[in-house]
């Protein structure tokens, strides 16, 4: 299925999710349309009674009451339409965010870690918001652009079938209009965004290199270049826009001409110049009503053309979201079937098989038993499967075959400590960072944990202790300090099992010593530690070293 088609299908699915509210929006729009017809009918009626029948205006109060009621009903229906549309968009966007969250959950930390966080956040935030216009404006208007003109056509036909035919003749043109408007709007949209994109690109490029320009004293010439480039883009864009705007001019032209033709036909009919057709029955009431309804016949279409860019925006954003959602179903881990819990004091790896490439399995039917309180070092060449084994024990990935039982439960089911290679900080205080994984940690526990990993002196230098911000003055922590902070999370949480992926790789010697000491403390406290490493000092910390290579695992 093409990208566009799958985006369309997905948007269709979301429309089903928001169907009650879309129906409510459309219903309110239809009520507003009917109220508009009623308003025009009362208006024409009053004019007829007042001008032709010369009824005193005081005796027309009933008709005036009807007119005001129709006006009020139209206003209320419009307000309700906006309300339902806004709610629908909100509901759909919330649903999409939930879908993406579920997708991340099934994808798992390993695959998620391979996509830039900025990209994922943009999908979650901006792409989801890009669906707003489609569900709040375009989709309901697409339905209204069919229903309301049909209603008006029905009324006009009952008044004067020849005038009805004038409008009806433009009806087959409507799909043509739509195509024209669509093509024009699409072109316009692309061109507009391309220009804006290029202009922004030029501007941002100069802003990014501003220091360089300042160093060479070249900011003024750069501003001049920016102006010249922008002017060039403008001239090129305007050439295409002159054509693109023609399509909406065509719609405008047909609407104007239809009104003019209807007006002149009715006028001549009322004078009795037209001797065939239904024009003999024309009165000021029916003639004026037909005239007043003619612009309303085209109005929904004009609105639709204004909302057309919402569709393009939603399709673009939808295509990218769908691609992400589908990628998660592609890599969906096989459900663990036939899991049998093993003894609660061991980690048992049974007949584990994992292959990215069927020729060369990463783990080829390995079995292993780790006792509670063991300190295990996994070593071996890079790409040999250390990290994969660690991820499987963490439950971040599922094996192709085999089972892992961690203290009597499937891998990843009970909370455990994890220390990856890229440390993770949140904006906020030291306490925020530790409570992220252990919400009920006491102040004392937090401070103790931070001291355990050698961050005590840094903490002492901050006025508000654990409640001071981590990143003051825009200066962050060094890589080593950040990794120690992550380790402090493990200290404060009191997990039975702690998995660490290359905990000392790329650290300065100070941080390395602190990490080693901290791991030693954890080991003495009876925690089960499993780490992948090459580091000699870490290997000596372990009471068992496993060599993971060529699909097998053996004691080294």
Partner 1 sequence: MRELWPWLTLIFRRPVRLTVGGLLILATLLSGMGLLALSGWFITATALTGLLLAAGVQASLNLYVPGGGIRFFAVARTVARYAERVYNHDTVLRLLTDIRVTLFRQLSLSARRQRSALQGPQWLSRLTNDVDALDTLYLRLIAPAALAALVTAMLVIAAGVFYSQDLAIGLLVTLLPGFLIATLVVYLRTRHLVYRQTDARERLRTDVIEHVEGFAELTAAGRTGKHAALCLRQADQITSNDSRADTRTGWNLGLAQVMVNLAVVLALWMGLQLFQQGVITGPVVVLLPVALLGLLEVYSMLPDAFARLGGTLASAARLNRDCAPDTSPESDVRQVPLDSHNALELEQVTIRFGDHSPVISRFDLTVGTGEWVGIIGSSGAGKSSIAEVMAGLEKPASGNARHLPAAYLTQQTVLFEDTLKANLLIGRPDASDGELWRVLELVAMADRFTHEPAQLNTWLGSMGSQLSGGEARRIALARVMLNESPLLILDEPFTGVDAQTRDRIAAAMKQWLAGKTVVSLGHAPEALPASDRTLRLS
User: Which residues between 164 and 183 bind partner 1 (CB under 8 A)?
Assistant: none
Cα–Cα dist 315/8, whole Å: 7
Per rule CB under 8 A, is residue 189 in the interface with partner 1? no
Contact assessment for residue 335 and residue 19, using Cβ atoms and an 8 Å cutoff: no
Instruction: For partner 1, give the closer residue by CB, 40 or 361.
Output: 40
Q: What share of the chain is helix, strand, coil (3-state, %, to 5)?
A: 65, 10, 20
State in angstroms the smallest separation of the CB of 465 from partner 1.
15
Instruction: Give CA–CA dist 499/397, Å, rounded.
Output: 14
| Residue entry with tokens 């355990």 | 452
Mask 498-517, x = binds partner 1 (CB under 8 A)? -x------------------
| Residues written for the chain | 556
Q: Which stretch binds partner 1 (CB under 8 A): 66-74, 174-182, 323-331, 354-362?
A: 66-74
Sequence-distant (≥ 6) Cβ neighbours of residue 443 within 8 angstroms: 431, 466
What is the enclosing helix (H) or strand (E) of 412? none
Contact flag: residue 199 with partner 1 (CB under 8 A): yes
- Taking CB under 8 A as the rule, does residue 161 contact partner 1? no
Question: Across the strands, what pairs with 552?
Answer: 549
Q: Which of residues 434-463 bind partner 1 (CB under 8 A)?
A: 436-439, 461
Closest CB 231 distance from partner 1, rounded Å: 6
**Helix H or strand E encompassing 556:** none
- Alpha-carbon distance of 458 to 450, in angstroms, equals 10
Residue 76 makes contact with partner 1 by CB under 8 A: yes
In angstroms, the CA 225 to CA 121 distance is 34
Selected range binding partner 1 among 161-169, 254-262, 448-456, 521-529, rule: CB under 8 A: 254-262
Which residue has tokens 């220390």? 419
Q: Is 525 in the site for partner 1 (CB under 8 A)?
A: no
Q: Does 120 bind partner 1 (CB under 8 A)?
A: yes
Query: Which run of H or E residues covers position 18?
Result: none
Which position among 26, 85, 162, 301 is part of the footprint of partner 1 (CB under 8 A)? 85
Residue 353 as a binder of partner 1 (CB under 8 A): the answer is no
> 415-434: which residues touch partner 1 (CB under 8 A)?
415-420, 422, 424-427
User: Least CB distance from residue 4 to partner 1, whole Å?
Assistant: 25
Q: What is the DSSP letter of 551?
A: B
**Residue 132 binds partner 1 (CB under 8 A):** yes
Applying CB under 8 A, among 10, 18, 81, 139 the residue interacting with partner 1 is 81
Q: Which residue reads 């904006």 in tokens?
A: 427
C-beta atoms surrounding 37 within 10 Å: 21
Is residue 327 close enough to count as binding partner 1 by CB under 8 A?
no
Minimum Å distance from CB 249 to partner 1?
4
Instruction: Sheet with 417-419: list strands edge to edge.
Output: 417-419, 497-501, 528-532, 375-379, 544-549, 552-555
CB 119 within 8 A of CB 104: no
User: In the set 4, 105, 331, 382, which binds partner 1 (CB under 8 A)?
Assistant: 105
Q: Which is nearer to partner 1, 59 or 351 (CB)?
A: 59
Instruction: Please tell me whether residue 276 binds partner 1 under the rule CB under 8 A.
Output: no
Question: Which residue among 20, 154, 272, 381 contacts partner 1 (CB under 8 A)?
Answer: 272
DSSP-derived secondary structure letter, 429: B
Of these, 11, 38, 67, 397, which contacts partner 1 (CB under 8 A)? 67
Alpha-helix residue ranges (DSSP H) falling in 113-218 = 117-122, 128-129, 132-133, 139-159, 161-170, 173-208, 210-215
Q: Report the b/e string of 504-521 with b at 16+ CB within 10 A.
A: beebeeebbebbbebbee
Judged by CB under 8 A, the stretch of 148-156, 219-227, 330-338, 545-553 that binds partner 1 is 219-227
Phi-psi region of 375 (alpha: psi -120 to 50; beta: other; left: phi over 0): beta
Of 99, 141, 170, 248, the one binding partner 1 by CB under 8 A: 248
Member of 271, 505, 525, 537 binding partner 1 (CB under 8 A): 271
Q: How far is the CB of 195 from partner 1 (least distance, A)?
A: 7
Does 101 interact with partner 1 (rule: CB under 8 A)? yes
Q: How far is the CB of 97 from partner 1 (least distance, A)?
A: 6
Count of residues engaged in binding partner 1, rule: CB under 8 A: 143
**Does 125 interact with partner 1 (rule: CB under 8 A)?**
yes
Q: Which one of residues 4, 190, 225, 382 is an interface residue with partner 1 (CB under 8 A)?
A: 225
CA 413 to CA 344: how far, in whole Å? 13
Question: Distance between CA 52 and CA 58 in Å, rounded?
Answer: 16
Site residues (CB under 8 A) for partner 1, limited to 369-398: 394-396
Q: Which is nearer to partner 1, 461 or 536 (CB)?
A: 461
Question: What is the nearest approach in angstroms of partner 1 to the Cβ of residue 478?
Answer: 8
């Amino acid at each position: 299925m093409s990208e566009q088609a799958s985006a369309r299908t997905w948007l269709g699915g979301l429309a089903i999710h928001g169907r009650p509210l879309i129906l409510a929006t459309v219903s309110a729009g239809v009520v507003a349309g009917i109220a508009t017809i009623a308003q025009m009918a009362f208006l024409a009626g009053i004019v007829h009674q007042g001008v032709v029948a010369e009824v005193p205006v005081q005796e027309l109060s009933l008709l005036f009451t009807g007119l005001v009621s129709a006006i009020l009903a139209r206003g209320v229906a419009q307000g309700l339409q906006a309300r339902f549309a806004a709610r629908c968009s909100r509901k759909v966007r919330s649903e999409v965010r939930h879908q993406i969250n579920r997708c991340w959950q099934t994808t798992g930390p390993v695959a998620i870690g391979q996509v830039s966080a900025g990209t994922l956040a943009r999908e979650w935030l901006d792409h989801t918001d890009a669906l707003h216009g489609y569900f709040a404006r375009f989709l309901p208007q697409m339905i209204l652009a069919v229903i309301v003109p049909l209603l008006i056509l029905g009324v006009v036909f009952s008044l004067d079938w020849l005038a009805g035919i004038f409008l009806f003749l433009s009806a087959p043109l409507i799909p043509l209009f739509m195509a024209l408007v669509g093509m024009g709007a699409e072109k316009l949209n692309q061109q507009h965004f391309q220009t804006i994109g290029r202009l922004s690109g030029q501007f941002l490029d100069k802003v990014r290199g501003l220091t360089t320009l300042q160093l060479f004293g070249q900011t003024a010439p750069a501003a001049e270049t920016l102006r010249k480039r922008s002017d060039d883009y403008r001239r090129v864009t305007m050439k295409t826009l002159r054509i693109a705007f023609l399509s909406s001019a065509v719609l405008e032209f047909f609407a104007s001409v239809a009104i003019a033709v209807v007006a002149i036909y009715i006028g001549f009919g009322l004078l009795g110049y037209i001797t065939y057709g239904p024009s003999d029955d024309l009165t000021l009431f029916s003639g004026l009503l037909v005239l007043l309804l003619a612009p309303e016949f085209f109005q929904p279409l004009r609105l639709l053309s204004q909302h057309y860019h919402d569709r393009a925006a939603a399709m673009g954003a939808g295509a990218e979201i769908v691609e992400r959602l589908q990628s998660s179903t592609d890599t969906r881990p096989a459900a663990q079937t036939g899991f049998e819990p093993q003894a609660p004091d061991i980690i048992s790896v049974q007949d584990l098989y994992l292959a990215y490439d069927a020729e060369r399995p990463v783990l080829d039917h390995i079995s292993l038993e780790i006792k509670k309180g063991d300190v295990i070092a996994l070593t071996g060449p890079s790409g040999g499967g250390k990290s994969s084994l660690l991820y499987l024990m963490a439950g971040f990935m599922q094996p192709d075959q085999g089972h892992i039982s961690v203290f009597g439960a499937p891998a990843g089911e009970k909370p455990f400590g994890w220390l990856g290679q890229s440390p993770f900080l949140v904006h906020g205080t030291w306490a925020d960072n530790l409570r992220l994984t252990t919400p009920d940690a006491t102040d004392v526990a937090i401070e103790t944990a931070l001291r355990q990993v050698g961050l005590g002196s840094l903490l002492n230098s901050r006025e508000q202790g654990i409640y001071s911000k981590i990143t003051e003055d825009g200066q962050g922590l060094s890589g080593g300090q950040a990794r120690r902070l992550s380790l402090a999370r493990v200290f404060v949480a009191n997990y039975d099992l702690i998995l660490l992926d290359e905990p000392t790789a790329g650290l300065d010697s100070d941080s390395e010593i602190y990490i080693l000491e901290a791991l030693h403390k954890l080991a003495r406290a009876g925690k089960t530690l499993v780490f992948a490493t090459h580091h000699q000092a870490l290997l000596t910390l372990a009471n068992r070293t496993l060599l993971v290579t060529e699909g097998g695992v053996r004691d080294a």
